[in-house]
Amino acid sequence: MTHLDIIRRWIRENAEAHDLSFAAWAKLAGLAPSTVQRVMAPDYPFVPSTRTLSALAAAINVPPPSLGEAVEPTQLAMFHLPIRYEVGAGIWRAVEDLDHALGTAPVLPEPAYAAFPQWLERVVTDSMDRDYPVGSLLHVVDATEIGYAPRSGDHVIIERTRRGGGLVERTVKEIQMTPRGPEFWPRSNNPRWSEPIRLAENGEEDDTIVEIKGLVLGSYRRR
């Protein structure tokens, strides 16, 4: 049995024992609502971090899963990362259509983040084309898992959700810190993309929620 199998069994048994949905348990632990649901998806290949498992365990006052001393192969032993998303400003998708297996590409995981989920996202619009032309692959690490705090100059993946989370726009932006908080700026040659997105959009009348989902570690473009 793999580490991921043990974790999924632990999640399933404790969710049933405490009469919690996966989303409710994640919220109780102070995590994104999709955190547990994502781990339980059959095609999700990543082992959750110790930080995530500890938060889930503490929320319901149980010990974290015991994974034993065996060390499974990590993604550092792999030569390809999965392409999980298409990222582009102005493209709104139903949440169930967002995360799919889109193949792999020969990009090595970043050793500094070996313990955390890493993947690729394909750029499909020109809102950041000064840095990432359409077709580029972005190398991303999970922002929630690493406990990411915004810094000016970082490039991040953000999601905007509407209609109670039913519609999602996933896009890459550059952070600029301001007295009002972080702003997420496009870097585009297209005048359509000239205004920032702000966390302050949360709670507006259109029910838009803005979240940082990933930190961009680099990019890759095939010849």
Every domain of the chain and the residues it spans: 3-60, 75-220
Structure confidence by residue, pLDDT tens digits, 38-62: 888 877 777 777 778 888 999 999 9
The topology (CATH level 3) of 3-60 is 434 Repressor (Amino-terminal Domain) (1.10.260)
Task: Note the CATH number of domain 75-220.
Answer: 2.10.109.10
Structure confidence by residue, pLDDT tens digits, 120-134: 999 999 999 999 999
Instruction: Decide if 117 contacts 79 (C-beta within 8 A).
Output: no
Do 3-60 and 75-220 come out as alike in CATH topology?
A: no
* Confidence (pTM): 0.69
Distance (Å, whole) CA 175 – CA 198: 10
- Write out the DSSP string of 116-169: S-EEEEEE-SSTTTTTS-TT-EEEEEETTTTT----TT-EEEEEEEETTTTEEE
